[in-house]
Structure 1
Amino acid sequence: MDPRSEVVLRQQQFLSGKLLLINAPADHLSHELSKNLDVSIWTWNFADHQYFEQQQFDTHFSVEFPKTDIDQVIIFVPKSKELLSYILHVVASHLKQGQSIFLVGEKKGGVERAAKQLQPLGKNLKLDSARHCQLWQCILEKTDTLKPLQNWVKTYSLQINQTQLHICALPGVFSQNHLDVGTAILLPYLNNIKSGKLADFGCGAGVISAYLAKLNSKNEIYALDVDAFALCSTEMTFHRNGLNLEQLHIQAVTGIHDAPQQLDAIVSNPPFHQGIHTDYAASEGLCKQAKKHVTLNGELWIVANRFLNYALLIEQQFGCCNVLADQQGFKVLYAQAS
């Protein structure tokens, strides 16, 4: 069991009524909690959502607070400070004065910093410090009026060749404030991509998806991500650029195995983090399974850190992998199915 969940179990005498677990890890915590509690889950991670569904829990995959009455919440601290600010605001706009917000996280995951973000909402008490984690309780004194999701979007503009894009990114989404180096290196090469049915695996704020849509209005774009905030950001980016939403297919996935079949190309700046931890499963899975999802002569375009040996994994599947660029610590890799 996740150490954060173990700390919650140690102090479950403080829990009562309708309890919402926010950003909870996919473990057995919900089974171990008292049967007197009415437990539901809010997550924006599709893999976690599927796990909780299989366990037959009341789980909500969304960027917004569930439409249900809640007495208490436990927030598992996310990596992003901005995302926590959004969550605290949403929670404070749904709970009543006197109700409790619990905050749990790893010390190396920034729980002490997160506890400071909790302070303006009410009286705070550290309930436990164990397993390299901390559990805090805030008795809510200051409620809030819910702001529209649009108020939390950050925008920036970029120019690739002759194409200008305006990017919209919600809190917690990769590269929320500016274009990341890897994607910047990849984008100019995509002018040569095969047109048709294209997937952007790990779409983030929709930079690649929007660029592919701009390149050819007939391209059919599948924006794939595990994160609800990323999928929502991609849709917002399409709106912001006046792109045809009929070109865009938003799809929550747990990995490349959930992607459509018969794609003309897959493009990715693949993710390698799960929360605060490094996790190469999704990106390595992409390299190993992409060929199953493309047509004959279908393409794979990837940008990745130079030190990651993805070229070998791709070559084992496609027979050949070309390094199109090697700069600023990143490689652009290309392969074609035969």
Structure 2
Amino acid sequence: MSLSPASQLVIRNIDQLEQGDWLVINADDAGLFPALQTFSLTALHQYYDVFCQASGHSGAAQFDSRDICDKPQAINMVAEQGNHKHIFAPAVTQASATDVLIFMPKAKAHLNMLMAMAAHLVGNTGRVHVIGENKGGIKSAGKAMQQFGAVHKLDSARHCSWVTCDIENAPGQFSLHDWTAVDTYSLKEHEWQVCSLPGVFSHRELDEGTALLLTKLPATLTGTLLDFACGSGVIASYLHSVGARTQTELLDVSALALWSSAHTLSLNNSQGTIIAADTLHGVNHRFQTIVTNPPFHTGVKIDYRISRDFIAGVKQRLTSNGKLYLVANRFLPYPELLTEQFKQPATLAQNTRFSVYFAQN
């Protein structure tokens, strides 16, 4: 399998890793690490799929939402693979790193948060590097970096750039709570609170598709419920706040989303099980209801894999007569995919951009 363009640029500059203690954040390609096996390094993965691929870990991981709120390191999985230490967590606040290499995230606010964390970790005289594709916004990375020190471009190739900041103004501390937004969402005169971090889907706003889905969810839901690709926990927290009596599990691939969801539940005097998983892999029990606004992007690229895998496996994760509620952009081929799995999927609502689909076992 060929490496991503950004990973190829790392290999092109592999001599950079010969000196210093390196922390790699959100590598977009697990295949990069075998190529770096001669170097001792630590990798922070905020995304569970790449963590599993890189570390050899398999299955899903479960957390109690109350533990995540009470213990800062509750989401913190560590796996050793040769010379590499792989961490799945929303953040790292302590590390003996001289250099941090960040793979450019999709959201600028996410990069700002990662830069603050990385600059704190390496301290003054350390270095923070950002690498990414030109079409992914790497050309604007310098603006997020320059507040911490002098910025220069190390290399450009494969339609990517590697930008380095020599840290001179390192923050004295870093906490996820300093980057947490708490907003009041409203829908049909009902209000509830949502906690979200940069990098989480629909950060600080109620997504239009999710809002349409919520209008079609019965407030009388009971039993076991899965909020798949939960993001900041908007759907589950809304249902609890309008009186649904469900035993709720919230699943996402993002550690930032899982952290946000746990705090969103707490803000609304609720609780649930938080699951880290790549689609439904490792989830072996069944639910009476599954609700989702599934992603169809990987970074800036359209990617149907997550939704295709989810729809292909969701029938086996529903109880007899179990119900699925799914919202998606109208242009996506989900009606056909649902028809392959369910007898008579229905469209509950539709506007110019989104459709809400319903299916039952």
TM bin (shorter chain)? over 0.9
Q: 1:197 and 1:232, CA in 2 relative to 1: closer, same or farther beyond 3 A? A: same
1:158 Cα offset (Å): 2.2
Q: Distance in 2 between matches of 1:241 and 1:192?
A: 16
How big is the shift at 1:163?
3.6
Match of 1:21 in 2: 24
| DSSP-derived class of the 2:245 partner | coil
In structure 1, give the amino acid aligned to 2:277: V
Q: Does 1:319 align with 2:343?
A: yes
Distance 1:24 1:46 in 2: 12
**Superposed CA offset, 1:104-158 (max 9, x none):** 1110001110122111211222111110001112221111122432221223222
Aligned partner of 1:121 among 142, 145, 148? 148
**81-90 vs 1-10, greater mean Cα deviation:** 1-10
1:136 aligns to 2:139 (yes or no): no
Q: Is the 8 A contact 1:200 1:267 kept in 2?
A: yes
> After superposition, where does 1:1-338 map in structure 2 within 5 Å?
1-15=3-17, 16-33=19-36, 35=38, 37-54=39-56, 56=81, 57-65=84-92, 67-161=94-188, 163-191=190-218, 194-216=221-243, 218-243=245-270, 245=271, 248-337=272-361
Aligned residue type for 1:23: N
Q: Which amino acid aligns with 1:24?
A: A
| Deviation, structure 1 residue 96 | 2.5
> 1:86 and 1:192 mapped to 2: Cα distance?
36
Kept after mapping to 2: 8 A contact 1:30/1:39: no
1:166 Cα shift?
0.9
Q: Deviations over 1:250-270 (max 9, x none)?
A: 001101233342200110011
Q: Give the aligned residue type for 2:253.
A: V
Letter of the 1:21 counterpart: V
- Opposite residue 28 of structure 1, the aligned amino acid is G
Q: Which has the higher contact order (CA 8 A, sep 6+)?
A: 2
SS at match of 1:134: strand
Identity fraction in percent: 34
Between the aligned partners of 2:91 and 2:243, the Cα distance in structure 1 is 33
Q: Which runs of 5+ in 1 are unaligned?
A: none
Q: Output the CA distance in 1 between the equivalents of 2:318 and 2:177.
A: 36
C-alpha deviation, 1:13, in angstroms:
2.5
Task: Name the amino acid aligned to 2:302.
Answer: T
Report the more deviating stretch, 215-224 or 135-144. Answer: 215-224
Matched residues in 2 for 1:110 and 1:327: separation? 31
**3-state SS in 2 of match to 1:94:** helix
Letter in 2 for 1:22: I
Residues 160-204 of structure 1: CA deviation (Å, up to 9, x unaligned): 346421111100111112101101111021116642100011000
User: Once superposed, what is the RMSD of the aligned Cα atoms?
Assistant: 1.7
Q: Is the CA contact 2:241–2:268 (under 8 Å) kept in the aligned structure 1?
A: no
8 Å CA contact retained: 2:230, 2:292:
yes
Structure 2: runs of 5 or more not aligned: 57-79
Matched residue type, 1:107: N
If the length of structure 1 is used for normalisation, what is the TM-score? Answer: 0.93
